[in-house]
Amino acid sequence: MAHWLVKSEPAKYAFADLVRDGKTVWDGVRNNAAALHLKAMKLGDEALYYHSQEGLEVVGVAKVVTEAFLDASDPAGRFVAVELAPVRALKSPVTLAQMKANPALADMVMLRQVRLSVSPVTDDEWAVILTMAEETP
DNA sequence: GCCAACGTTGGC
DNA sequence: GCCAACGTTGGC
């Protein structure tokens, strides 16, 4: 099972909104690299849910409930969307600053490619971040 | 609000 | 097919 990280601006669609809705269509991705990752997502894959612009932290875990399909909001029909559902909120959110400060995460794709809205997370990175989320500050 | 990173567009 | 200009994202 693969792991991912998805970014969302909480002012537009926060993790709490996903919890409220039960699931959501993850569309609007207009970047080829991000779209490739969406296409690679499999049913049951889990993703870290990161708040960009505000918060700047991983706040929860979501899972893929529908694999890639054509994004209806893309008139050109070039890009795809998936459906995500909430799994759980993190006990203690993991901030961008914490991730940057952790040498084990130095190669994280989301740290190296700031603008990529959907990125892969290795098993090791996944374990490190979830461990950080269990620590009480 | 600014600016760096980087993807996309369009002229040649 | 190259590359400069432009637009967008996102951290600070």
What is the pLDDT tens value at each position of chain A, 137 positions in all? 999 999 999 999 999 999 999 999 999 898 889 999 999 999 999 999 999 999 999 999 999 999 999 988 887 788 899 999 999 999 999 999 999 999 999 999 999 998 899 999 999 999 999 999 986 55
The per-residue DSSP string of chain A comes to --EEEEEE-HHHH-HHHHHHHS-EEE-----HHHHHHHHH--TT-EEEEEETTTT-EEEEEEEEEEEEEE-TT-TT---EEEEEEEEEEEEEEEEHHHHHH-GGGTT-HHHHSTT-SEEEE-HHHHHHHHHHHHS--
Per-domain boundaries in chain A: 3-132
Question: Among all strands, which nt has the closest C1' to A115 (CA)?
Answer: C9
Question: Among all strands, which nt has the closest C1' to A112 (CA)?
Answer: B5
Any strand C atom closer than 7 Å to A12 CB: no
Q: Tell which strand C nucleotides have any atom below 7 Å from a protein Cβ.
A: 8-12
Domain A3-132 has CATH 3.40.50.11930: no
Q: Residue A39's pLDDT is what?
A: 93
Predicted TM-score (pTM) of the model is: 0.93
